[in-house]
Amino acid sequence: MAKKNEEPKKTKNTFQIIAEYIQALFSAVLLAILIRSFVFEPFKIPSQSMVPSLLVGDHIFVARYKYGLRVPFTKFWLKEFEGPKRGDVVVFSFPDDEDVDFIKRVVGLPGDRITIAGGRLNVNGAQMDETAFFVEGQNKDNRCVMDLTAGSQKILPDEFKAFPHYIGQDLFTHFVETFDNGQKHMIQHARHFLPGEDFEFVVPERSYFVMGDNRDQSHDSRFWGAVPRENLKGKAVYIWLSLYQQDKDEKNMQLDDKLPRCPYNITDPGILPNVRWDRFGRRII
């Protein structure tokens, strides 16, 4: 028996139910926009220009807040923070077509004099150090990574010892490049690529000179100039997913299906074979 002071529950009409769904949907969309605009934005690596640091099929998070806060969908900064450091991997709107996003490594800061001589990077007259290292075949348990030579095991920093396997890597020589601020990262040079003419460029104010880690196969500031600060979208920070996908170069090689290659794993080849499990959560250096 109902209490005398208890009011019966009101039944929601159709309009109220629809309104609540719309309100929830709007809140979810608004939250997603805020997260993508001010916190993290996902980005998929589309080309080989950042190999060996980033592979085609890597899905990464870009920290949108790293260099400042801007009005969503515009180039207007609400608040600017400290700019990129030499060595940061950044995502930006391509200056020649701002509907296209690029990802490269910052090698030159405002006012720097960048020189490319004999294929080597020089900043303000100082040549950046390159230490070569060598691989000797795929790991027997995980074909997504390469085994290093004994000598390279001794000289290579721990964060670079899980060197990824990718098609055509025997065409390149691999290095750890060290900038003047101590930042280290991997790069590669094509074995049979002849360096072009020497190049010199002074980075304008509020701009950055960027290059790909795949130094001889990257369309970067050497060809189209510096990136204005207004075009920066954020700093690449983590890999959250990595999917192997056969690219056109591999198809052109007409590889034997029996060739051991990533992502097939000897110990468990049947579970999600296109996932590079070892790259999950990897910090982008």
Residue in 203, 22, 199, 240 with CA at minimum distance from that of residue 113 = 203
What confidence score (pLDDT) does residue 138 get? Answer: 87
Q: So what's the pLDDT on residue 257? A: 44
The residue among 267, 265, 284, 283 whose CA lies nearest residue 275 is: 265
What is the structure's pLDDT at 264? 55
Distance, CA of 203 to chain centre: 23
Ordered domains of the chain (ranges, CATH): 41-131+174-279 (2.10.109.10)
pTM: 0.82
Confirm if 254 and 121 have CB atoms less than 8 A apart: no
Q: What is the pLDDT at residue 176?
A: 96
pLDDT, position 40: 81
pLDDT in tens, the chain (285 residues): 445 555 555 677 776 677 777 777 766 666 556 556 666 899 999 899 999 999 999 999 999 999 998 887 788 888 999 999 999 999 999 999 999 999 999 999 999 999 999 889 999 999 999 999 999 988 888 888 899 999 999 989 899 999 998 888 889 999 999 999 999 999 999 998 877 778 899 999 999 999 999 999 999 999 999 999 999 999 999 999 998 765 544 444 444 444 456 665 545 555 666 788 889 999 999
Looking at the annotation, which residues are catalytic? 49, 104
Q: What is the C-alpha separation between 233 and 225, in angstroms, rounded?
A: 18
∠ CA 254-144-177, nearest 5°, is 105
Q: DSSP per residue over 198-226, as a string? A: -EEEEPPTTEEEEE-SBTTS--SHHHH-P
